[in-house]
Chains A and B, each alone.
Chain A
Amino acid sequence: MSIIDRQLEEMKKVIRDPILLVTIIAVIISLIIFTLWPIYEVLVEGFLAKDGTFTLKYYQDVFRQSENMRVLGNTLLLGFVVSLFSTAIGFLFAYADAFIKIRFKRLFNVIAILPIVSPPFALAMAFIMLFGQRGFVTYSLLGIKDANIYGFAGLATVQVLAFFPTAYLVLAGLLKQIDPSYEEAARNMGASRWHIFKTVILPLVTPGIANSFLLVFIQTVADFGNAMVIGGNYTTLAAKVYLQAMGNYDIKGGTALATLLLMISVLMFVVQKYWVGGRSYVTVTGKPSRQRELINDPIISWIVGVPCALISLFILVLYILIPYGSFVNLWGIDFTPTLKHYGYVLSLGLKPILDTTYLALLSMPITGIMGMVIAFLIVRKQFIGRGMIEFTSMLSMAIPGTVIGMGYILAYNDEPLVLTGTATIIVLSFLFRNMPVGIRAGVASLQQIDPAIEEAAQDLGANSFKVFTSVTIPLISSAFFSGLVYSFVRSMTAISAVIFLVSASYNLLTVAIMSQVDVGRLGVAAAYSTVLIVIVLAVTGILKLLLGRMGIKINMQ
C-alpha cells in the first residue's frame, strides 16, 4: 500500500461525513488565502521588477548594501543576546517558582501577565521615562543633560524584561512536571543538592531551555514596537522593513528585507517545533505523583530569591510609571498633577480607542470558535491536509507581524480580493495572528479528554456538528474562553502587523500611541496606554467574573 493509498484510506471516514468534509475544506481554503497567500506575495514581490518581469535586483540590493548587512547583524546579535539573558532569568524565576519556598511567588504571575496586557512597547516607554534625555533617573536625579538610552543597550534591556516571562512560563511548566521521586532516588543514592541539579534537573530541562531560547529569539527578532521606540540608530530588520516600505515608499526593497526576516523566524520555528520540540524527556500527561517538598534552605532562597525580587520590583515600577506619567504636566521637567493629557485624548482621539475596542471585540468570538474547530480537527480527525492545517495555523505565530502586515497589503490591494482600508482586513489579521494560542490551548485540553466521550455522542445519533457543539465545546470551554480572552487582549495590544493596515477610516490605539511617542508627547502616549490597559483589564475582568459564575476558569498563560 503506497503512501497515497494510506492517505485515501484515512479519508474514507471524512468523505462519508459531509459536515466534516465541508469544514475541513473551508479551514484549508481560509488558511491558504489568509496565511499562505500573503506570505507568497511577500516572497514573490521582491523578484518582480516594476514592469512585472523577473529580477534579482532587490534581493541583490539587500545583500549588497552595507546598511542592510548591518541591520541583519544587529538583528541576529540582539536576538542572541536577548534570548540568552531572557532564558537565564526565566530559568531563575522558574526554578524559584517550582523548587524554592519563597513568599512572593504570586508576583511572578503578575509579572508574566503584564507584557501580555500592555502595549508591546510599554516597557520601552517607561524606560525612556526613567533613563531618557528627560528621564527621571538620568535628568531629574543625576542631572545628566544628554543621556542617550536609544540603541542596543536600551533595546536589549527592554526586550529581556519583556520576553523573559515567556522563558519563565515554558520552564516553570517543565520543572513542575518533573516527578520529585527522581530527586529522591538521586538523594537516596547519596547525591548532594548541587549534584542533583547538575546531573538530574538540568539534563531533564535542557530541551526546554533550548525551546525557550528559540521562542524568545522568534519574539525578539519580530519585535517591532520596542525596536521603533527605543532602538534609535540600532535598526533591526522588523523596523527596517516598515521604514523601507512605508517610510521610503520602497515596497519592493521592503519585501526583500521581509523575506530575510521571515527566513530567520521560520527557520527558528521549524527548529523549535520539529527538532527541539520532540526531545522533551518530561512527560506532559497528567501531574506528577506527589507535590515536591520545597527547598527551605535560607542560603539557596536568598541566592535565587533576591534577584527575582529585584527584577520583579523593577518591572512593577516601570509599569506604574505609565499611568503616573499620564497624570503629570511635563515628564522630567514639571511633575505637577494634571488631567490635560486625558483632555487631549478625549477631545482629539477617541476614535482609535473605540475602533480598537470594537474590532477586538468583533474578532474575539470568530478567533475563539475557529481556534477550537482547528484544534478539534488536529487532535481528533485523520485526513489529507491535517499536517498542513496544523503547520500553517501554528506558523502564523512565528511569522513576524511586519511581514504579515506587508503581505496583507500586497495580497488584498488588487482584484480578486480588495480589502485594504476596511475593517475586515484588520479583523482578519487579528484572527489569523491570534488563533494559534487558542489552538494550542484547545489541543492541550482535548488531549486530556477521552475520545470515547465524543464517540459515545456520535454513537447516540449526533452528527459531527452536534457532537462539536454539544460535547466538544462544553468539555473544552475553559480553553475556548481562555482563547477568547487572549485573542481580545492581543488584538488590543497588537501593532506590528496592523500598522500596515490602519487607514483614515480605521485607526488603532497602539498606532496612535506610537505616533505620540514619535512626536515626543510622552504624556499623551502614557494617557492612551493607560486607557488601553484599563479597557483590557476591564473587559477581561468582566469576562472572568461572568465565566467564574458559570464555573469556568480561564488561564491567560
Chain B
Amino acid sequence: MLALKEKLTDRGDPLSIINNINSKSVAVKNLEKIYAGHNGKQVKAVDTVSLEIKPGEFMTLLGPSGCGKTTILRMIAGFETPTRGDIYIGSERVNSQTPDKRDTAMVFQSYALFPHLNIFENIAYGLKIKKLNKTVIKEKVEGILDLMGLNGMEGRAPNQLSGGQQQRIALARALVMEPSVLLFDEPLSNLDAKLRVYMRSEIRKIQQKIGITSIYVTHDQAEAMSMSDRVIVMNKGIVEQVGTPDEIYNKPASRFVADFIGVANILDAEVMAIAQKSITVKCMDHLFDVSTTLNLQAGDQIKIILRPEAVQIGEAGKIPVIVEESVFMGAYQDYKLVVNGQILMVIDYNPSQKTVFAVGDKAYLTINEANLHIVKG
C-alpha cells in the first residue's frame, strides 16, 4: 500500500504507461429493464431512467440492494440487454454490441480474477486478445503492476494474494485495457473497513490523474460521498436524485434520499404562509422561515429534514426538549430527544468540553433555519 502511495506522489508521471485513454461520455435514454420474475410476475428493475455522464466524470450509482443500480451498470457493460431505451458511449449507440465489442472495462465485486491464470496472465488477458506484441504486453503489465505497487507478483496465482492485492489486480486488469469508460461494481465491498477507506482514496486519485470516465456502483454512502463528482441516488428502479455529494446531503430531493444518506430527522410540518423569498412553516410547535424551490401552498403538510449535527443543544435556547436517551460515543454525545411529541436525534461533538445532559434532563435547542430543508410529505 505504501508503495502505491509513493508511486503516486513521488514519481514524475507514474501513469505514463496509461497514455492512450480517450475518455468518453456515457448516456442512457429512457432506459428500462423488466425481468420475468418467478410466478410469471414482471419485475421492473430499471424504470425509465435517463442519465448523462460527462467525459472524465466520476459518477456513482448509489442505492439499497435491488434498486436497479447494478442492472444499469451491467446494461452499460453489455451483460444485460435493455427492455427499452438506448445506451450511448460517446456518440455511438451501443445497444446491439456484445460486451467484448464495447470500450468499457469493469472491476467486479468478486474481482473475477481468472483462477487458472497467474497474475501476469490475468492482466495480459485482454491485451493478448487485442493482439499486441509480446514485448508491449510485458511492458504494460509490468508498468501497471509497478503503478499498483505489486511488482514481483507476476508469477503468483490469484488465491495467493490478499483481498486488497486481488482488488488492485482487478483494477490493473481493467485499467491496462485503457478503456473509454471504467465500470466498478461494488469493488470494495469484500475488503475490511480500513482497507476500504484507503482504497477509495487511491481509486479516486488514479481516476482523477488519468481523467477516465468512471461509473461506480455502491450501496455505501461513504464511498459515494468521498469519491464522486456526482451521485445518482436510486430506489426501486427510479432515479431519486442526481447531484453532487453536497447537494444530495444538504438538499435531498426526497424523503428517501434524506433518509438513505446519513442520519436525518424527518419532521412533520405544515406550511403556514408563503412569502416572496421564503415560506413560514410550523414544526415542533414553532414557526420557522425556510427557503425552498418547491411550489407549495399554505396548509400543505410537508416534511422537514434536519441533520442531527445541525442542531445546537444547550441550557438556553428557543425550543425546550426532554432527553430520552444520552449515549457517549467518544467523539460525540448521541441524544434522543422528545420535543412536542416528536422524536429528534441530535449529536453534539466534543462532549467532554460541554454540558452533557442525562436521561430525563430538560434542555434547549437552537436551530439555524438555513439548516432546515423541505421535502414533500
Name the contact of A13 in the complex, choosing from B34, B42, B81, B109 (C-beta under 8 A): B81
Residue of A nearest to B129 (CB): A461
Q: In whole angstroms, how far apart are the Cα atoms of A455 and B77 in the complex?
A: 10
- Decide: B42 and A459 in contact? CB cutoff 8 A: no
With both chains docked as a complex, state the minimum distance between the C-beta of B137 and any C-beta of chain A, in angstroms.
13
Q: A425-458 interface mask toward B, CB cutoff 8 Å, 1 = contact, 0 = none?
A: 0000000000000000000000000101101111
Q: Does A50 contact B (CB under 8 A)?
A: no
Q: A470-492 interface mask toward B, CB cutoff 8 Å, 1 = contact, 0 = none?
A: 11001100000000000000000
- Decide: A456 and B129 in contact? CB cutoff 8 A: no
Name the contact of A9 in the complex, choosing from B83, B97, B100, B177 (C-beta under 8 A): B83
Given contacts A16-B96, A455-B108, A461-B126, contact A475 B83 (CB under 8 A): no
- For A424, what are the chain B residues with a Cβ–Cβ distance below 8 Å? none
Q: In whole angstroms, how far apart are the Cα atoms of A464 and B78 in the complex?
A: 13
- Decide: A463 and B114 in contact? CB cutoff 8 A: no
Q: In whole angstroms, how far apart are the Cα atoms of A462 and B131 in the complex?
A: 11
- For A13, what are the chain B residues with a Cβ–Cβ distance below 8 Å? 80-81
Q: How many residues of A contact B (CB 8 A)?
A: 26
- Decide: B116 and A16 in contact? CB cutoff 8 A: no
- For B374, what are the chain A residues with a Cβ–Cβ distance below 8 Å? none
- For A9, what are the chain B residues with a Cβ–Cβ distance below 8 Å? 34, 36, 81, 83
Q: Does B105 contact A (CB under 8 A)?
A: yes
Residue of B nearest to A471 (CB): B114
Q: Does A12 contact B (CB under 8 A)?
A: yes
Q: Does B125 contact A (CB under 8 A)?
A: yes
With both chains docked as a complex, state the minimum distance between the C-beta of B132 and any C-beta of chain A, in angstroms.
11
- For A12, what are the chain B residues with a Cβ–Cβ distance below 8 Å? 81
- Decide: B98 and A460 in contact? CB cutoff 8 A: no
With both chains docked as a complex, state the minimum distance between the C-beta of A470 and any C-beta of chain B, in angstroms.
8
> Among the interface residues B34, B97, B99, B116, which one has the most CB atoms of the partner chain A within 10 A?
B99
Q: A3-15 interface mask toward B, CB cutoff 8 Å, 1 = contact, 0 = none?
A: 0001001101100
With both chains docked as a complex, state the minimum distance between the C-beta of B175 and any C-beta of chain A, in angstroms.
12
Q: B19-63 interface mask toward A, CB cutoff 8 Å, 1 = contact, 0 = none?
A: 000000000000000101000001000000000000000000000
Q: Does B167 contact A (CB under 8 A)?
A: no
Q: B63-105 interface mask toward A, CB cutoff 8 Å, 1 = contact, 0 = none?
A: 0000000000000011111010000000000001111100011
Q: Does A348 contact B (CB under 8 A)?
A: no
Footprint of B on A, CB under 8 Å?
1, 6, 9-10, 12-13, 16-17, 450, 452-453, 455-464, 466, 470-471, 474-475
With both chains docked as a complex, state the minimum distance between the C-beta of A125 and any C-beta of chain B, in angstroms.
44
- Decide: A1 and B100 in contact? CB cutoff 8 A: no
Q: For chain B, which range describes its interface: under 10, 10 to 19, 20 to 34, or 35 or more residues?
A: 20 to 34
Given contacts A9-B83, A12-B81, contact A455 B112 (CB under 8 A): yes
Q: In whole angstroms, how far apart are the Cα atoms of A17 and B100 in the complex?
A: 10
Given contacts A1-B34, A9-B34, contact A461 B114 (CB under 8 A): no
- Decide: A460 and B34 in contact? CB cutoff 8 A: no
- Decide: A459 and B100 in contact? CB cutoff 8 A: yes
Q: Does B330 contact A (CB under 8 A)?
A: no
Name the contact of B100 in the complex, choosing from A6, A10, A458, A474 (C-beta under 8 A): A458
Given contacts A6-B36, A475-B116, contact A462 B108 (CB under 8 A): no
- Decide: A456 and B112 in contact? CB cutoff 8 A: yes
- Decide: B177 and A450 in contact? CB cutoff 8 A: no
With both chains docked as a complex, state the minimum distance between the C-beta of B250 and any C-beta of chain A, in angstroms.
36
- For B116, what are the chain A residues with a Cβ–Cβ distance below 8 Å? 471, 474-475
With both chains docked as a complex, state the minimum distance between the C-beta of B87 and any C-beta of chain A, in angstroms.
13
Name the contact of B114 in the complex, choosing from A456, A458, A466 (C-beta under 8 A): A456
- For B110, what are the chain A residues with a Cβ–Cβ distance below 8 Å? 450, 452
Residue of B nearest to A13 (CB): B81
Q: In whole angstroms, how far apart are the Cα atoms of A461 and B127 in the complex?
A: 9
- For B99, what are the chain A residues with a Cβ–Cβ distance below 8 Å? 455, 458-459
- For A17, what are the chain B residues with a Cβ–Cβ distance below 8 Å? 98
With both chains docked as a complex, state the minimum distance between the C-beta of B112 and any C-beta of chain A, in angstroms.
4
- Decide: B177 and A461 in contact? CB cutoff 8 A: yes
- Decide: B106 and A459 in contact? CB cutoff 8 A: yes
Known: A453-B113, A462-B126, A471-B116. 12 other contacts (CB 8 A): A13-B81, A16-B96, A450-B110, A456-B108, A456-B113, A457-B125, A458-B79, A459-B106, A460-B177, A461-B126, A462-B125, A466-B100
Q: In whole angstroms, how far apart are the Cα atoms of A503 and B108 in the complex?
A: 56
Q: In whole angstroms, how far apart are the Cα atoms of A1 and B36 in the complex?
A: 9
- Decide: B108 and A16 in contact? CB cutoff 8 A: no
- Decide: B36 and A455 in contact? CB cutoff 8 A: no
Main secondary structure of the interface of A (DSSP, over half): helix
> Among the interface residues B83, B100, B173, which one has the most CB atoms of the partner chain A within 10 A?
B100
- For A456, what are the chain B residues with a Cβ–Cβ distance below 8 Å? 106, 108, 112-114, 173
- Decide: B108 and A452 in contact? CB cutoff 8 A: yes
Name the contact of B130 in the complex, choosing from A457, A459, A461, A471 (C-beta under 8 A): A461
- For A452, what are the chain B residues with a Cβ–Cβ distance below 8 Å? 108-110, 112
- For A461, what are the chain B residues with a Cβ–Cβ distance below 8 Å? 100, 126, 129-130, 177
- For B12, what are the chain A residues with a Cβ–Cβ distance below 8 Å? none
- For A458, what are the chain B residues with a Cβ–Cβ distance below 8 Å? 79, 98-100
Q: In whole angstroms, how far apart are the Cα atoms of A476 and B42 in the complex?
A: 34
Q: Does B115 contact A (CB under 8 A)?
A: yes
- For B173, what are the chain A residues with a Cβ–Cβ distance below 8 Å? 456, 460
Q: In whole angstroms, how far apart are the Cα atoms of A37 and B68 in the complex?
A: 44
- For B100, what are the chain A residues with a Cβ–Cβ distance below 8 Å? 458-463, 466
Residue of B nearest to A6 (CB): B36
- For B104, what are the chain A residues with a Cβ–Cβ distance below 8 Å? 459
With both chains docked as a complex, state the minimum distance between the C-beta of A486 and any C-beta of chain B, in angstroms.
22
- For B96, what are the chain A residues with a Cβ–Cβ distance below 8 Å? 16
- For A450, what are the chain B residues with a Cβ–Cβ distance below 8 Å? 110, 112
Q: In whole angstroms, how far apart are the Cα atoms of A455 and B104 in the complex?
A: 12
13 contacts between A and B (CB under 8 A): A1-B34, A9-B81, A10-B36, A455-B106, A455-B108, A455-B112, A456-B173, A458-B98, A458-B99, A459-B99, A460-B126, A462-B100, A475-B115
Q: Which of B315-345 contact A (CB under 8 A)?
A: none
> Among the interface residues A13, A460, A461, A470, which one has the most CB atoms of the partner chain B within 10 A?
A460
With both chains docked as a complex, state the minimum distance between the C-beta of B123 and any C-beta of chain A, in angstroms.
10
- For B98, what are the chain A residues with a Cβ–Cβ distance below 8 Å? 16-17, 458, 463-464
- For A455, what are the chain B residues with a Cβ–Cβ distance below 8 Å? 77, 79, 99, 106, 108, 112
Q: In whole angstroms, how far apart are the Cα atoms of A16 and B81 in the complex?
A: 10
- Decide: B112 and A460 in contact? CB cutoff 8 A: no
Q: In whole angstroms, how far apart are the Cα atoms of A474 and B114 in the complex?
A: 10
Q: In whole angstroms, how far apart are the Cα atoms of A13 and B96 in the complex?
A: 8
- For B108, what are the chain A residues with a Cβ–Cβ distance below 8 Å? 452, 455-456
With both chains docked as a complex, state the minimum distance between the C-beta of A294 and any C-beta of chain B, in angstroms.
30
> Among the interface residues A452, A461, A464, which one has the most CB atoms of the partner chain B within 10 A?
A461
Residue of B nearest to A14 (CB): B81
Name the contact of B129 in the complex, choosing from A16, A453, A462, A475 (C-beta under 8 A): A462
- Decide: B83 and A453 in contact? CB cutoff 8 A: no
With both chains docked as a complex, state the minimum distance between the C-beta of B89 and any C-beta of chain A, in angstroms.
13
With both chains docked as a complex, state the minimum distance between the C-beta of A213 and any C-beta of chain B, in angstroms.
29
Q: In whole angstroms, how far apart are the Cα atoms of A1 and B42 in the complex?
A: 8
Q: In whole angstroms, how far apart are the Cα atoms of A489 and B106 in the complex?
A: 43
Q: In whole angstroms, how far apart are the Cα atoms of A464 and B116 in the complex?
A: 18
Residue of B nearest to A452 (CB): B112
Q: In whole angstroms, how far apart are the Cα atoms of A9 and B108 in the complex?
A: 25
Q: In whole angstroms, how far apart are the Cα atoms of A75 and B195 in the complex?
A: 67
Residue of A nearest to B108 (CB): A452
Q: B259-277 interface mask toward A, CB cutoff 8 Å, 1 = contact, 0 = none?
A: 0000000000000000000
- Decide: A466 and B129 in contact? CB cutoff 8 A: yes
Given contacts A460-B126, A460-B177, contact A453 B115 (CB under 8 A): yes
With both chains docked as a complex, state the minimum distance between the C-beta of B10 and any C-beta of chain A, in angstroms.
31
Q: In whole angstroms, how far apart are the Cα atoms of A305 and B100 in the complex?
A: 57
- For B81, what are the chain A residues with a Cβ–Cβ distance below 8 Å? 9, 12-13, 16
Q: In whole angstroms, how far apart are the Cα atoms of A455 and B75 in the complex?
A: 13
Residue of B nearest to A20 (CB): B98
